[in-house]
Amino acid sequence: MIEHAAEPLASPAHAARTARTAGTPPPASARWGRILACLVELPAALIVVAETLILGGGAFARYALHAPLPWTEELAGILFLWLAMLGAIIALQRSAHMQLTTFISRLTPQRRAWVDACGMWMVVAFLLLLVQPAWQHLVEHVEVLTPTLEVSEAWRAAAVLTGTVLMLVTALIRLFERASRTQAALSGVLVGLGAGALWLLSTGLMELGNANLVIFFLLMLVGCVAIGVPIAFAFGLSTLCYLALSTATPLSIIPNRMQEGMSHLVLLAVPLFIFLGGLIEMTGLARAMIQFLAALLGHLRGGLQYVLLGAMYIVSGISGSKAADMAAVAPALFPEMKQRGAKDGELIGLLSASGAMSETIPPSIVLITVGSVTGVSITSLFIGGLMPALVGLAMMALVVWWQTRKEDMRDVPRPSGRALLKLLVVALPALALPVIIRTAVVEGVATATEVSTIGIFYALLAGVLMYRQFDLRRIYPILVDTAVLSGAILLIVGCATTMAWALTQSGFAQDLVSIMSAVPGGKTGFLLVSALAFVILGSLLEGIPAIVLFGPLLFPIARMVGVHEVHYAMVVIFAMGLGLFAPPFGVGFYAACAIGRVSPDVAMPRVWPHMAALFVALVLLTLVPWFSIGFL
């Protein structure tokens, strides 16, 4: 499975606390790790606040005062790149970068320690090799001025260099903190010998042509991912080695492409929606919404299952994290559902499938990413994403109806109309939030990036004035967590953008066009093959890496064979979501198991009816374009 959750037992802060508890001074690596965390976390949190104020102020000035501020987007873009790099540093400190652990999780602890040490040396190798190109990239941009603020572009380029250096320091701290001296030394020698062998073979590699794609983007990339190297660093290392050892391309192109990939202003919605998700949970909006839905449908057969589906449909996509969506809904419903006789495995199957179903619901981070890397209109994606999820919801509702058709509901009280009305009044501010966000984008009040600030200010006001739930002590951790998840996502976007560029320059894109254009069945065959491919890619790479890497390559082919770009986006996103939540590799399935506190071995045999329902929905979406583009 792919992990992107922090492992707190390995953090520098935990090591320091453990050492203090034991009465011994913390190790030097833990002390330096804690100092570095203090230096990075506060600026990252402040940037999240600054981005919210800048974009929110810009939207207010343009729409309410009719006096646009031309410098807001430029300043927000510069700060955004710093946020991405600082977040990536904290994510590395917290082991929060996405990584495949399916294979290494089966190793004994001793063997896994050796493999982890080798993997961290590969991270170190990538960052060490990136320092000089990042410096050169900075030097090249010193004399270039931004068009509006007229400040040096070096402020933007410095974020990449600073992030690279601090991630290198962080990786070394983590390496010597987790591995013994023997493991660190021997694994370093092993990785060094491999690097030396590739360097000695570089002359021969130059003559192999596109055979190098197999060496670097198949063997090396798959090998790195299999041993647990975080996906972003695996992408970056494979691309860097390919360009350095088999082409004459200057390596300064790597930080340039990374910066370009992470600088799309529409991606700024990622951290802001993640921050909004944290506020929704803290201020009680999610709880009020779920309580109303439970009262409305809870007395029906399978009522709470329908509530879970409805709640995921409403809140999904706002937090930026499927795990956060599921964690906001499941704990409020699972205890009562189990009391009514629901089986653990069926609950996990429903939770997993609802997470997959809701990938197309705006303001999904995946939708925003697709729009960023492919040029498809975000507004069109937001409009088109509601119906595909509704098709998936309908298919899963049929499964719920079948599984609960004999449920005994005689002892379940039905709430009075007065009680239901009271809960509705309490829930109205929460139910209004998704409507406000989606309406603001569709009506042009704010861009997909700015609309997140509307949601943030609305959630703050609702929490303070209506729900009276606002804990200032939780704001800073939410801001830091926002930076962590954003950094993990955006570093993947940057490295995958670089890899996609390298594949395009190699001629692979043209070969892919030829292959996919020759698929039997015309555009229907192309859609079916794409759906199957993204089910597999979603299972192995998770959604955003798969979309960023293959979206720029496949969307032009879709246009060429006559597939509407929004229809194609919905098919591949839904397929990716199915793979993301399907066992045995899908990370979403294991996240659902962790949230529901159910063993994967118990849940896996019972998840398949829900996955089958989603597969039927995927076929319908593929064959009936109206579900995706009927309301455009």
List pLDDT tens digits, range 3-57. 443 333 334 444 444 343 344 445 666 677 788 888 899 999 999 999 999 988 8
For residue 64, give every residue at least 6 positions away whose Cβ sits within 8 Å of its Cβ, in sequence order, or none. none
More confident: 46 or 417 = 46
How much is the average pLDDT of 236-256? 90
Write the DSSP string, 156-189: HHHHHHHHHHHHHHHHHHHHHHHS-HHHHHHHHH
Closest of 489, 591, 79 to residue 270, by C-alpha: 489
pLDDT (tens digit per residue) in 538-593: 776 666 777 777 888 888 888 888 899 999 999 999 998 888 888 766 767 777 77
Chain-wide mean pLDDT for the chain?
Answer: 82
Instruction: Determine the pLDDT at residue 626.
Output: 94
Domain ranges of the chain: 2-263, 265-632
How much is the average pLDDT of 187-192? 92
Closest of 173, 185, 210, 202 to residue 30, by C-alpha: 173
Instruction: Determine the pLDDT at residue 90.
Output: 93
Distance of CA 168 to the CA centre of its chain: 23
Instruction: Determine the pLDDT at residue 556.
Output: 86
What are the φ and ψ backbone dihedral angles of 614, each rounded to 5 degrees? -65, -35
pLDDT over threshold 70, residue 123: yes
**Structure-block tokens of residue 504:** 């395009």
177: left (phi over 0), alpha (psi -120 to 50) or beta: alpha
| CA–CA distance, 613 with 346 (Å, rounded to integer) | 13
CB 291 within 8 A of CB 556: no
Residue given tokens 């809140």 in the structure block: 315
Instruction: Determine the pLDDT at residue 180.
Output: 87
CB 322 within 8 A of CB 273: no
For residue 35, give every residue at least 6 positions away whose Cβ sits within 8 Å of its Cβ, in sequence order, or none. none
Of the pLDDT bands very low, low, confident and very high (cuts 50, 70, 90), residue 167 is very high
Instruction: Determine the pLDDT at residue 44.
Output: 94
Residue given tokens 């060094």 in the structure block: 192
CB 349 within 8 A of CB 337: no
Lowest mean pLDDT among 324-333, 349-358, 556-565: 324-333
| CA–CA distance, 548 with 370 (Å, rounded to integer) | 7
Within 10 angstroms of residue 105's Cβ, the number of other Cβ atoms is 11
Instruction: Determine the pLDDT at residue 20.
Output: 39
Instruction: Determine the pLDDT at residue 395.
Output: 92
What are the φ and ψ backbone dihedral angles of 96, each rounded to 5 degrees? -105, 5
Closest of 204, 175, 205 to residue 191, by C-alpha: 175
Instruction: Determine the pLDDT at residue 468.
Output: 79
Instruction: Determine the pLDDT at residue 324.
Output: 62
More confident: 363 or 192 = 192
Q: Which residues of 122-152 are buried (b: 16+ CB within 10 A; e: fewer)?
A: bbbbbbebbeebbbbbbeebeeeebeeeeeb
Neighbouring-strand partners of residue 99: 3
**Residue 100, H or E segment:** strand 99-100
**Residue 2, H or E segment:** strand 2-3
pLDDT (tens digit per residue) in 383-396: 898 899 899 999 98
Lowest mean pLDDT among 12-16, 57-61, 73-77, 326-330: 12-16
| CA–CA distance, 407 with 304 (Å, rounded to integer) | 12
Prior bond of 27 cis (ω within 30°): no
Q: Which amino acid is at 115?
A: V
More confident: 224 or 409 = 224
